[in-house]
Amino acid sequence: MTTHHRRWPDERAADELRLYREFLQFLRHTAISKVEGLSHALAAAPPIGTSPRMTVLGVIKHLTAVERHWISIIGAGAALPSLWQGSPDPSWNLSDTDSPQTVITAYEAEWDHSADALAGKDPDDLATDGERTIRWLLAHVTQETARHVGHLDLLRELADGEVGE
């Protein structure tokens, strides 16, 4: 597992695609920081009775599925298996082999797939589905990640009282 250091994007950024990538990376590191230091039991526990699949590890697994689907599969047409196949959405489900380390490692590996998928792309380029621009995909994945970082804030506080940005 890598140590994550959050860094705000350049405040005078002129390169739009770089700015999107930097904000997404900032949010990724924020998400991971919400897992670091939690025991397996706390990271896998669903603290909200009405949401039994809403766990710290489940959120990270879902974010992995989000990146794979939108950036690698839709954006670049990568031949990777979808992590969303099934109903209800199985990306939140934990397996017996999931631990903070394995879930974070899978999420980090997906970042590499995303970087490969976006290599050489411009914001105005169309995704392989021909319906969306790369700009739209990055904005969508960034907002999805930000929304789930908010969930992670709450889940972490419920797990062990840890609060912070």
126 forms beta bridges with: 133
Q: What is the pLDDT of residue 10?
A: 62
Residue 51 has pLDDT above 50, yes or no: yes
Q: How confident is the model at residue 1 (pLDDT cuts 50, 70, 90)?
A: very low
Confidence check: pLDDT of 102 > 50? yes
Residue type, 78: A
